[in-house]
């Protein structure tokens, strides 16, 4: 059903590098499209002009041959992908190691659902951006595989600027533990 795939770093990495991993691609020819600016905006975490080391994300994409599809998200066949092409929204996931499920990412969210998902003891939570007319959603899911890992998935693009200051992002960045391939 989902028109994207989530990719995790192979777990065969060294302990030091094994924390993190993710990201996903909004479409099948992903790599080239991950300009920092766009990724930042789509994530909805940052003001457009903020400079942050999100470029690490690009490294992950560039190195995606070393990544492993964890299979948590179904991938649509190309046929269906084309059908949905015009209506597709950007969709990004990332993973944090954190005690708390919901990170303060600077936007206001209203929870509209919670579901138990198969093969996971933790429920998945569904949130919508509360800003009038803004259609962005996100899902938050803690993995039972590794209880400290929280996957956050953003869908859509905010139609408005972020209200809160940028400092909030710092602690998220700290938690993101982005895999650095170097």
Partner DNA sequence: CGGGTTTGACCGGCGC
Partner DNA sequence: GCGCCGGTCAAACCCG
Per-residue x/- mask for DNA, residues 60 to 99, rule CB under 7 A? ----------------x---x-------------------
What mask, x for binding DNA by CB under 7 A, covers residues 92 to 131? ----------------xxxxxxxxxxx-----x-xx--x-
Residue 29 or 110: which CB sits closer to DNA? 110
How many Å apart are CA 140 and CA 124, to the nearest integer? 6
Name which of residues 123 to 182 contact DNA (CB under 7 A).
Answer: 124, 126-127, 130, 137, 139
47 binds DNA (CB under 7 A): no
Intra-chain end-to-end CA distance of the chain, in Å: 34
Q: How far apart are CA 89 and CA 160, in angstroms?
A: 16
b (16+ CB within 10 A) / e for 105-122:
bbbebeeeeeeeeeeeee
| Residue 2 touching DNA (CB under 7 A) | yes
- Whichever of 56 and 127 has its CB closer to DNA, that residue is 127
Closest CA relative to residue 161, chosen from 111, 114, 107: 107
In angstroms, what is the minimal distance from the CB of 163 to DNA? 11
Query: Total residues contacting DNA (rule CB under 7 A)?
Result: 21
DSSP-assigned states of every residue in 155-167: ES--SS---S-TH
Beta-sheet strands, E only, within the chain: 5-9, 22-25, 67-69, 91-97, 109-116, 123-129, 137-142, 149-155
Closest approach, Cβ 113 to DNA, in A, equals 3
Residue with tokens 């953003």: 154
What is the smallest separation between the CB atom of 66 and DNA, expressed in angstroms? 26
State the residues that interact with DNA by CB under 7 A. Answer: 1-2, 76, 80, 108-118, 124, 126-127, 130, 137, 139
């Amino acid at each position: 059903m989902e028109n994207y795939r989530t990719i995790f770093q192979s777990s065969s990495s060294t302990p030091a590098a094994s924390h993190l991993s993710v990201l996903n691609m909004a479409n099948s020819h992903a790599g080239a499209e991950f300009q920092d600016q766009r990724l930042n905006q789509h994530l909805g975490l940052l003001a457009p002009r903020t400079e942050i080391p999100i470029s690490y994300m690009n490294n992950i994409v560039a190195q995606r041959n070393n990544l492993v599809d964890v299979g948590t998200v179904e991938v649509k066949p190309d046929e269906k992908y084309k059908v949905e092409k015009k209506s597709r929204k950007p969709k990004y996931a990332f993973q944090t190691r954190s005690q708390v499920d919901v990170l303060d990412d600077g936007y206001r969210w209203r929870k509209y659902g919670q579901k138990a998902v198969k093969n996971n003891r933790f429920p998945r939570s569904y949130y919508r951006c509360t800003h009038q007319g803004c259609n962005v959603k996100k899902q938050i899911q803690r993995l039972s595989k590794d209880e400290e890992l929280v996957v956050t998935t953003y869908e859509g693009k905010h139609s408005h600027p972020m209200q809160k200051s940028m400092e909030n992002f710092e602690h998220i960045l700290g938690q993101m533990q982005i895999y650095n391939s170097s």
